[in-house]
Structure 1
Amino acid sequence: MMDAPPPNLQNEPPREEDEGPKVRVHPPTVMFAALVAGFLVRLYAGGSLPLPRALAEGLGGFLIILALGILMAATRAFNEAGETLQPNTPSKRLLTEGPYRFSRNPVYLAMMIFGAGFGIATSNVWIVLTTALAGVILHFFAIKPEEAYLERRFGDAFAEYRRRVRRWI
């Protein structure tokens, strides 16, 4: 006898016509490109944050560790639900527990916190700025299509979840 899925997961098999969200960017690539772009701009334009080195490294390190913790918790929630982190794949379940109680997008939130933390730790103002730009790109080209898909896929359950939980934090 199989256990029923936890009540926080809407366990519905994807329909055949369900192709998943139409995400037009690869989110990790967007974040990596932001970090590289910030590094390259600083090489040619300069631009340090006006923070004492110890403070910058401490605050940045804290943010990096926080981001990694959020990412690990979100990954664990995906794995436990039998879902994949690939943004274009159909969803079987609506995740609402773990870090998903606080953010509808904890993986993207972790990416933004990591980028900001890395920029602060290295006192690179450009990485902080390009991370913010990456957040805007992810918002329009990953998050919006994902949320439109989840609304179609899970209907009222997603609408209720969206009312309770903020997009970022």
Structure 2
Amino acid sequence: MTKLIDTPPAWLATCLIIAWLQSHYFDLGMSLDYGITDLLSAILLGGGIIIFFMAVIQFRRHQTTIIPHQEASNLITQGIYKWSRNPIYVADTLILAGLILRWDAVLSLPLIPIFVWIIERRFVIPEENRLRRKFRADFARYEKKTRRWV
């Protein structure tokens, strides 16, 4: 049960629930409700969804696991992975930011860096350590060439 709870989608869902509750019950009269905010929200959400699916396509093409804490069978360095070693987590962060803006959950904006910090500590660093051990020189080259986030 704890493996199901300790997954990036569960952390994202938790942050989204907190933001939604904050926006509906604890707004304290604060708002960023402007036309530009709606546009920015749509760009962040759309970009997050597109990046997510681009990354999933690469996982399918390379026939490796998308599940955190599992051993990868292949190192993905192509497609969206040329620009970020963690595009799914980038996508999750964009979706979180987009929905916080969409819901006008101003007080929930600090959830964005908190989410990134949790994801990096719980998933990114352990995943990269596994890849470093398994793919040694290939991962070292990839790590030098491609940034962790963007």
Q: So what's the TM-score if we normalise by structure 1?
A: 0.80
Give % identity.
26
Any idea what the Cα deviations from partners look like across 1:91-132, whole Å, max 9, x if unmatched? 111000011000000000000011101111222123332132
CA contact under 8 A between 1:115 and 1:128: conserved in structure 2?
no
- What secondary structure does 1:78 align onto? helix
- Render the CA deviation track for 1:1-55: whole Å, top value 9, x for unaligned: xxxxxxxxxxxxxxxxxxxxxxx93001001101111222341353644351x21
Secondary structure of the corresponding residue to residue 155 of structure 1: helix
Matched, 1:99 2:101: no
Verify the 8 A CA contact 2:27 2:107 in the aligned structure 1.
no
Do 1:35 and 1:131's aligned partners in 2 also have CA atoms closer than 8 Å?
Answer: no
Q: How many residues are aligned here?
A: 146
Match of 2:56 in 1: 75
TM-score (norm 2): 0.89
Describe how 1:1-169 pairs up with structure 2 within 5 A: 25-42=6-23, 43-46=25-28, 48-52=30-34, 54-169=35-150
Q: Quick one: structure 1 residues 141 and 79, their matched pair in 2 at CA, closer, same or farther if it must change by over 3 Å?
A: same
Checking the alignment, whether the CA contact within 8 Å between 1:31 and 1:131 is kept in structure 2 is no
Q: Distance in 2 between matches of 1:107 and 1:118?
A: 16
CA distance in 2, matches of 1:148, 1:47: 45
User: What's the CA shift for 1:68?
Assistant: 0.5
Give the distance between the partners of 2:79 and 2:106, measured in 1 at CA.
32
Whole-Å separation in 1 of the counterparts to 2:9 and 2:126: 16
Match of 1:11 in 2: none
Structure 1: gaps spanning 5 or more residues: 1-23
